[in-house]
A and B are shown apart, each in its own frame.
Chain A
Amino acid sequence: MRSTEAILQTRRLVKVFGGLRAVDGVDFTLRRGELRCLIGPNGAGKSTFFRLLAGMLRPTSGSVRFKDMDLTRLHPHQIAKVGIGIKSQLPRVYDQMTVAENVWLSANFRHGGEAASAVVDRVLQETRLSDRRDTRAAHLAHGDRQWVEIGMVLAADPELILLDEPTAGMTRAEARRTADLVREINRRASLIVVEHDMDFVRELGAAVTVLHRGAVLAEGSIDEIRGNEAVRDVYLGKRHARR
């Protein structure tokens, strides 16, 4: 499933806010079928970088290319059409609708009609939400609502998925299940996961990119990163308190 074709590539990506260079010339490549974790201390520029990839921010300079498409001109709603699924940090689901209806809304856009129902059933099974399909999203626990949103992303069958702290607010057990889910999804789609939770990153066992002060500090496997002096000085020296 691994290929050498780049599905997402940024070239000298820069974002400046007033006097702050939040993202400072990042060259980033994700190969098709790859799963990459993006980590870094607070203020490293992770969320800004994520939002640039997701089309929520326009870059000051530099480019973001998805396959052979320039993403910088697109609005967030056009990004979904192009085949990129985005899940932001705070779960944004339809509280007044049931789990099944939430997932259906996403499936209906891509498939429609009978096919949509089949997709909903499949996704609910994958995210283990079938038994709660008729529960209103407002009545779900936080972790479940995160999965509903992940389900909505999956229902659109994206080629590339961007996840921003998918385990924020989850229990250890829920985070472990999410890691399984992410690895499962990786068989069909490429993923970029921004994360603070180092246990989760370790469980994913994927390649890691470390950001610091808006630039790439190091890239490699989790073990290589842990062995990296510079990274240790900047980041891994202290444990992060979980939110």
Chain B
Amino acid sequence: MPYLSRAGVVLTLAALPFVLSLFQVVQLTVFMIFSLLALSLDLIWGFGGILSFGQAAFFGVGGYAYGVVGINTGLSMLALAGAAIAAAVLAALLGYFTFYGRVSDMYFAVITLTVTLILHQVMGTTADPRYAIGAARLGGYNGMTNVPSLALELPGRPALVLEPVPLFYVVAAFLLCILALCHGLVRSPFGRVLAAIREDEGRTEMLGYDVRWRKLVTFVLSGAIAGLAGGLFAGWGNFINPQVFSLSQSALVVIWVMVGGRGTLHGAIVGALVVQHLTSYLGAASVSYTSVALGLILVAIVLLFPRGLVPAVLGALMRVLARPRPAVSESP
């Protein structure tokens, strides 16, 4: 992206809290958190070429980790780090098991989905007070509701709890930084070899590359990003419950990336923002209408725009704009 539009995006983001209502700022903050989650899927799927239904699992684990660390230590930043690390560890275990076991891509998708479902089941049974880590009760289906807010802790000063507008900026900063990080990764030699793995894994192995650790690293990174998003989510809403592990949440992450177009990074962000805005618009009606709409949208996209909705729309726009127009002098 050229520098001009990058600056434009930053400026727009900076200005938004001044033109939007408080409710809209809070809502946009959580949408940006979801965008981060979508970004994590695009990294492993759009660039790694590996479909993971498990990003919701990392998101949830991150959220719960934030809750546990936050409630036990009262330190928000430590909790956030804990969120990313916990998710990364889960991703490392899962990735090692599957990539080094040379499991096929389809079975990998199934396994990640199964792990998410397992977490959904298990976390729902933790209602009893004895299910607690330190001072943090897991809370069963209701989850944890006393999760501390996100706060800046600087040495020597009291913790600064982030109000909605500062929180908006902090989340936006996270989003932009991680986006830049991912862009850098994709353009690096590592990223170019990853693209080769995506296109033809066997051929890349024949060149001598060990594809297994490369896939593992990418997966762990995507897990860490999803976990970080989970931690931000828990701190944003002061709650986390097993809903994050549900089948529909897993589906939603995939839908975001499919709408925005995979393999572009910023497409995932746009997809998440578009779908979530649409959902909250429709959600005023009822959950069922939303389900139907989302379901049909997903079917339509798969059938009509396999590369993603936004790229298809943009592509059509480009073709319209590129059509040659008669020169003025030709008109009589």
Contact = CB atoms under 8 A, between A and B. Distances in A.
A/B touching: CB–CB < 8 A: yes
Interface of A: 76-78, 80-81, 86, 92-97, 101, 104-106, 108-110, 112-113, 152, 156
Contacts of B192: 101, 104-105, 108
A86 B209 contact: no
Nearest to B206: A76
Contacts of B209: 77, 109
B208 A92 contact: no
A64 B149 CA distance: 65
Contacts of B206: 76-77, 80, 86, 92
A108 B192 CA distance: 10
What does DSSP make chain B's interface, helix, strand, loop or mixed?
A: helix
Interface string B165-200: 000000000000000000000000100110110011
The 3 closest A-B pairs by CB, nearest first: A80-B208, A77-B205, A109-B208
Given A101-B192, A104-B192, A109 B207 contact: yes
A97 B196 contact: yes
Given A101-B192, A104-B192, A105-B193, A94 B208 contact: no
B199 A80 contact: no
Contacts, number: 47
A101 B189 CA distance: 11
Contacts of B196: 94, 97, 105
B6 interface: no
Nearest to B205: A77
B44 to A, nearest CB: 19
Contact of A81 (B189, B195, B204, B208): B208
Contacts of B208: 77-78, 80-81, 109-110, 156
B203 interface: yes
A124 to B, nearest CB: 17
Nearest to A104: B192
A156 B207 CA distance: 8
A80 B204 CA distance: 11
Interface string B293-320: 0000000000000000000000000000
Interface residues of B, number: 15
Nearest to A56: B206
9 contacts: A80-B206, A81-B208, A92-B203, A94-B199, A97-B199, A105-B192, A105-B193, A109-B207, A156-B208
Given A77-B209, A81-B208, A112 B203 contact: no
Contacts of B199: 94-97
Contact of B207 (A96, A105, A113): A105
Contact of B195 (A78, A97, A110): A97
Contact of B200 (A76, A80, A92, A112): A92
Nearest to B195: A97
Interface centre among A76, A94, A104 (most CB of B within 10 A): A94
A28 to B, nearest CB: 23
A96 B193 CA distance: 13
A199 to B, nearest CB: 29
A92 B189 CA distance: 21
Given A97-B195, A105-B193, A152 B207 contact: yes
A112 B205 contact: no
A119 B193 CA distance: 17
A94 B203 contact: yes
B28 to A, nearest CB: 36
Contacts of A93: 203
A229 B227 CA distance: 74
A108 B209 CA distance: 10
A117 to B, nearest CB: 11
Given A94-B199, A97-B195, A106 B207 contact: yes
